[in-house]
Each structure stands twice: as structure tokens, then as C-alpha cells.
Amino acid sequence: MMHDEQFGTPQRYKTLVGAVVLIFAILMARLYQLQLLYHGELDKKSEENSVRALIKEPIRGYIYDRNGKLVVDVGPSYTVMIVPAEFDRRNMPLLSRLLNMTPATIEERMARARAYSPYLPSRLKRDITFRQLAALEEHLPLLSGISYQVESKRSYPTKAYASHLLGYSREISDAQLAQVGEYYRQGDVIGTAGLEARYEQFLRGEKGFEYVSVNSIGQIIGSFEDGKRDVISKEGFDLILGMDVELQAFAESLMTVNNYSGAIVAMDPSNGSLLAMVSKPDFDPAIMSGVTPAELWARLNSDPSKPLFNRAALTRYPPGSTFKMVLAAAALEEGIIDETYRIHCTGGFRYGNRVWKDLHVHGSTNVVEAIQRSCNVFFYQLIFKVGFEKWSEYGRRFGFGSPTGIDTGEETAGIMPSPAYYDARYGKGKWTLGYTVSLSIGQGEVGVSPLQMARYVAALANGGILHQPHAVMYVNNKRTGKIEELPHAQKPVGLSPKTIELIREGMRRVVQEPGGTASLARVKGIQSAGKTGTAENPHGEDHAWYVGFAPFENPTIAVVVMLENSGFGGAKAAPMAGLIIEKYHYGQLIRALPRPIPAARDSVKTITHVSSR
């Protein structure tokens, strides 16, 4: 075999030398690029690495009512902090006793703190009592790695709870933490319900940072550049509500005294701001500030009376006769009837083989009288003239079937039936116009929230403008130093002055004229208007409704009262609305609280099912 001529030739030596030099050149070029060309940028990154930011908590914004009364305040809260690396486990029994925490809980919290940083302080326990603080302070010299800091928590200086409106803030949960990201960390407080949640971005303020240099193992060795780069925390913005906190407290007490469950919504009809929003049963929001004991939280959640459930925004009951104005508006506006149109109420209405009865025989009745006396027969026959589709369209124009856009949290869209809805529900051709007879008087599938009703009655009060209901009117922007008005949507329902005038006249007579169903809502010295209603409840006692506004000529308040399982609207809901209007109009009650008055009956839902269905 031939000897290999190519072994280690000078040519191959040169090539290998060239390869080595090439590799050297590439690495040197990269080194030059990193250390000379990119030096500035990479040096900055490295500096960021050796500096730590300590978080300085901001003060959460305050909440005021429309008259400048402080509704939600901020008070001191003491939080125990731990530096995991400095804590001596031999002190565990002492710490456990002082803070009334089990060693296992402390260990678990400490492990989380260690994951953030072993050398920086993390929260161990929030909102300790003053007695615990005193005891801790005494032992502090013994407890290395333990300190406390003053933080803020909510306090409520007024008599009103307004729990469903104000909402509450709580320590951020792991799930929330994963969702909201960056800004928050373990132990932070975040608005969780109501205004506290919706306006979290305004209320929370901005965290401040104190920059410290850390040594090789992350221990703080001093301030960084003498604190020149520190950022002072920024206070949260204040909210200024449409609420009249006196009225709110009064409305709550009316519900409490009578032990009602239900909702009251009072609204300024000129702009949709909420004067009061009550949902009963409720809870004291103060128990949510600081640390809520787990068993209390569990009890609130499992209470069968559902105190956490906002009945003003989330219930979806039939509106009963309070809905009759929708049909009246449709008939008048479409020119189907006018005030001269009369029917003869014989106390019953037949369609097909079914008969719907009225409680009274109203005789010759026009649209104004039909509202005044709540004549069912008038509306039973009217829906056939107006048509299901038109009725449904006017209901939607008044905002039914869609959310109101309230800023206090979750709400229901309600149900506004239409032919399409029935087609979807029962199947095309499987329902008859007979189904719509009940709808004409606000029974059946139609479902509304008290908030939607407030928006509706406010529109009737103000001449036909549908306002977006809102709790917050202004924000005190601490960055600009200005009080800023928050924008709100509004749109006309699209009714002529004549239509509005007739409906309003009917509603005035409901309260002010003999034969009206809500004379109990009268307020001395002012003209008031309204409508009673009763929501059929197949599961129990009916729900009572009253919607109204006052004064008649220039309304300043629209009120909706909804009482669950309390029977007829005229009897209990109307007098409460009267009291609320009186309180708001005069600033106080000008009469002694009314004696119990025997029930006066609302129009009735006596429905006789003749069919075999």
C-alpha cells in the first residue's frame, strides 16, 4: 500500500494555523463588541442587578358622598414583617404565642417570603391588634428578623353600610395575583368587590420605592446613591359619590326595621347618579378591612339569606304593573291610541279559551285612568293593538334586556321577551300571542333588576332621557390636582312630550288622586308620582314593587323599592318610597313614622287557567 503523501504537509499546517487565527479573530471581535461597544447598555443592566427596591405602600384613596361627607376613611393597620434569613427558629414558640399563629402557618408564610427574598422584609401577618402590637414591641429586641410596619386599612365613619355599593378590598389571592401580574405582590390589598374593585386603578395609588444596595448575598448594606433615585409613593385618588350618605343610612334603616329583604335604588333623574343603593340583607364592610377571620368569611358565603348578593343589580324579577307604562308609551307614541281612546273594563278579558280577570270592574277607562287605577283589562287588550314586536322594542328602548353599565360591579341584563326570544325558547310557531297577555302587565318571562327600573322611572321623570346609572360622579385626581367629572352615557328613549305628559299624569294620579293605588306614597307639601307593582313568584310570596319620582314638576329624585316576598306593592313598598322622598326633599322627616296601615290592594294577577294546559 502506498504511503500517504498528504500527511502533515506544510500546506495543511498553514491551513490549520489559519483556522486557529480565524477563531481567535472571531472571539476577539465579539469580546470587543461586548466590552467596548455594548459596554454602556450592559453595565446599566448589571447595576440594576445589584440594587434592590424596597416597596413603600401608598395610602388608598378616600371616598366622599355628594355633600363632601367622608364615607370611607383610612386608618392605621400594623403589619408584622419578617426577614427569613435573619429569623432564629428558636424564637418560634414566642413568635407563635405573640401573634397567635401556629408555627406551621409561620413556616408556610416564611417559605413564601424566602421565595421572594431571604434577605428582604416580607409580610408575615397583617392587621394585628393593638394589644398584640404592644406585646410584640416589648419582645422585639429578642426577635431578630422581625419588625412591623404601619400600613393602612379601611374604616367607615358613617352609619351607612352601603356594602354592595362600596364593596371591599382584601388581601390579594393567588388566583388574582396570577391574573393581574406585575404591580402586585403577595400580601398586597386589592379591591375585590363594588367600587373598591371597579375603581382599583384610581384608589390604589402608586407604590413608592426605596432603593438600597445589597451585598454579595443580597443583604441590605445601605441606601443606594443616598436615596437620590427613591420614588415616593403616591396617594390613591379620592372618589366623590352621587350618594347622599344620610339618605343611604335612612333607607337601610327602613329595611332593617321592617326586616325586609330586597333593594332600594334612589337616583338623581337629571344625571343618573345614585343617591342611595340598598340591598338587604347586607353586611358591615368594616369586617372586610384588615384581616377577615376565615370563619366569618365562610359564614357570609354560606348564609342562606345571601348577604353578599347585590339584589339591586343582580335580581331578575318580573316588574308587575310598574311595567305598564312601557306598553302605554308604545301605544301613544305609535299613534295607536290617544287620550280619548277608551275601553270598557268589565273586570275580565277573554282570549281564545282563557280568561284573565281584573280585581275591579273599572268601567270606561282611558290610558291615564288605566295607569292611575292599574286596570289590567286595558293593557290586556292593548298589547294586541300594539303588537308584541313593538312592545318589545319600547321595552328595549327603556333599557330593559341590557345591562345598565353601573359602576358598582356585576349586574344582570334581565330578560326582555320578544318574538325572537320566544322562538328560541319554545320553538318557532310553538307559542301563541296568548303568552303575551301576561307580559302586558309585566308578568311572565320579563325580568328586570331594581337598577334597570330606576333608570326607567328616571327617564319618565326627566322627560325621556335614559341615563347610565353610576355611583361615582367625580374623581379627585391627585396627579393633576383637579376634581375630574367622569363621563356617563345617556340617550333619549325617543318619546314625544305629549306621550310623556300623559304617562306622567297617570303616575301622578296614582299617588295624588283618589282611586290611585299608591296614596300611601304621598309626601306632605309636594306632588309625587309613581306606580305600584307586584311580581308573581311561583316559589312563594310575591315580590312588591314601587317606582316613583318627586317633585312632580321638577323631579330631583327617582326611587325604586323592591321588597322580596312581601305581597302587594301598594301596601309596603309605596310608603317606604314616600318616606325616602320626604327625607331627601326636606333633609329630614317632617312627620312621625307612620302607623301600620291595613293593606290596600294593588291591581291583581288573578289569572284563571281555563285551558287544559
Partner 1 sequence: MFEYLKEYFDLQGLILCLVLVAMGLVSVYSATYDAGAAETFQKQLIWAGAGMATLLLAAFFPMKTLQRIAFPSYVFMLGVLLVVLVVGRTISGSTSWFGVGGLGVQPSEFAKVATVLALAAFLSRTTTSLSNVRHLIIALGIVLVPMILVLAQPDLGTSIVFFIMLLPILYWGGASNFVLAAILSPIIVAAGALFGTFAFLFTLLLAAVMLYLTRENRFAAAVAFSISLVIGLSVQTVYDRLPVYQQKRIATFLNPDLDPRGAGYNVLQSKVAIGSGGVFGKGYLQGTQTQLNFIPEQWTDFIFCVPGEEFGFIGASVVLVCFTALLLHGLKIAHLSKNKFASAASVGIVGVFGTHMLINIGMSMGILPVIGIPLPFLSYGGSALIANLAMVGLLMNFYANRKEH
Binding site for partner 1 (CB under 8 A): 1-8, 10, 12-13, 15-17, 19-21, 23-24, 26-28, 30-32, 34-36, 38-39, 41-43, 45-47, 49-50, 214, 216-218
Least distance to partner 1, CB of residue 462, Å: 56
- Closest listed residue to residue 208, CA positions, set 191, 183, 179: 183
Count of beta carbons in the 10 Å neighbourhood of residue 311: 25
C-alpha cell at 280: 338587604
Residue with cell 489559519: 18
The counts of H helices and E strands in the chain are 21, 24
Nearer to partner 1, 26 or 610 (CB): 26
Nearer to partner 1, 6 or 302 (CB): 6
Nearer to partner 1, 218 or 434 (CB): 218
Adjacent-strand bridge partners of 214: 220
Q: How far is C-alpha 372 from the geometric centre of its chain's CA atoms?
A: 35
Count of beta carbons in the 10 Å neighbourhood of residue 533: 31
Cβ 310 vs Cβ 164: under 8 Å: yes
Distance CA 411, CA 413 (A): 7
Nearer to partner 1, 7 or 130 (CB): 7
Adjacent-strand bridge partners of 355: 350, 608
Nearer to partner 1, 3 or 228 (CB): 3
Q: What is the DSSP letter of 140?
A: G
Least distance to partner 1, CB of residue 187, Å: 22
Least distance to partner 1, CB of residue 138, Å: 36
Nearer to partner 1, 31 or 610 (CB): 31
Rg (CA), the chain: 34
Give residues with Cβ within 8 angstroms of 294, minimum separation 6: none
Distance CA 206, CA 58 (A): 6
Least distance to partner 1, CB of residue 19, Å: 8
Nearer to partner 1, 11 or 340 (CB): 11
Least distance to partner 1, CB of residue 148, Å: 29
Least distance to partner 1, CB of residue 209, Å: 19
Distance CA 344, CA 377 (A): 9
Adjacent-strand bridge partners of 159: none
Least distance to partner 1, CB of residue 223, Å: 17
Sort 480 into a burial class: Cβ within 10 Å, 0-12 / 13-18 / 19+.
exposed
Least distance to partner 1, CB of residue 11, Å: 11
Least distance to partner 1, CB of residue 230, Å: 20
Nearer to partner 1, 24 or 384 (CB): 24
Least distance to partner 1, CB of residue 221, Å: 12
Q: Angle, to 10 degrees, between the axis of helix 497-512 and the axis of helix 450-461?
A: 110
Least distance to partner 1, CB of residue 62, Å: 39
The H or E element containing residue 218 is: none
Nearer to partner 1, 43 or 284 (CB): 43
Phi, psi of 155, deg, nearest 5? -135, 160
Nearer to partner 1, 31 or 424 (CB): 31
Nearer to partner 1, 46 or 612 (CB): 46
Phi, psi of 172, deg, nearest 5? -65, 135
- Closest listed residue to residue 290, CA positions, set 82, 146, 133, 151: 151
- Closest listed residue to residue 217, CA positions, set 86, 359, 107, 348: 86
